[in-house]
Amino acid sequence: MSKIYVDEILPKDNAKITAADLQLPAGSVIQVVSFETTGNQSITTTSYAGTPIAVTITPKFANSKIYVIAHANMYHNGGQRDVMVSLFRDTTQLSPGAYGQTMMYNATAAGLVVPFTITKLDSPNTTSSVEYRVKARLDSAVGSGQININGSQATITAMEIAQ
């Protein structure tokens, strides 16, 4: 059996190896950025409004995918409301459909707490920083009341995935 012993392996001309020189296998996690908040946002509008659930990531490679996971709670002060919750990349809505995800339907009991999770595998095609933010709105066609997003611990995580 042959053996090779080395003290050091250097690139040509003693140059340093940088991250740009590395080729990670597809599916490898390149970086992870996470944010946790206990902030609260009252939603009383029928247009999408930002929440404190946001994270910014700067992809290292333009062809990378970004996997985003957001988790929070919402609670209701009574009345009947449908709530649409969506994930946005900067100003682009990423959640499916024009209405996003309907998270609460005809919630008539005050104090009702509903946890929600949004996941998305995104292709921003950039090496510039991008912000992922959860936004919410009320449906204008259903009842009255307000929704509070978070009220307790919320997290959002963005992972850059090699392609």
**CATH classification at residue 89:** 2.60.120.1340
Domain count for the chain: 1
Q: Range of 145's domain?
A: 32-161
Structural domain includes residue 18: no
Q: State which H helix or E strand residue 57 sits in.
A: strand 49-57
Structural domain includes residue 42: yes
Tens-digit pLDDT string for the chain (163 aa): 888 888 877 767 766 666 665 678 899 999 999 999 888 888 888 888 888 899 999 999 999 999 999 999 887 766 666 778 889 999 999 876 656 666 655 556 666 777 888 999 999 999 999 999 999 888 766 556 677 887 678 999 999 999 9
Question: pTM of whole model > 0.85?
Answer: no
Structural domain includes residue 41: yes
Structural domain includes residue 123: yes
Structural domain includes residue 4: no
Structural domain includes residue 19: no
Tell me the C-alpha distance between 163 and 155, whole Å: 25
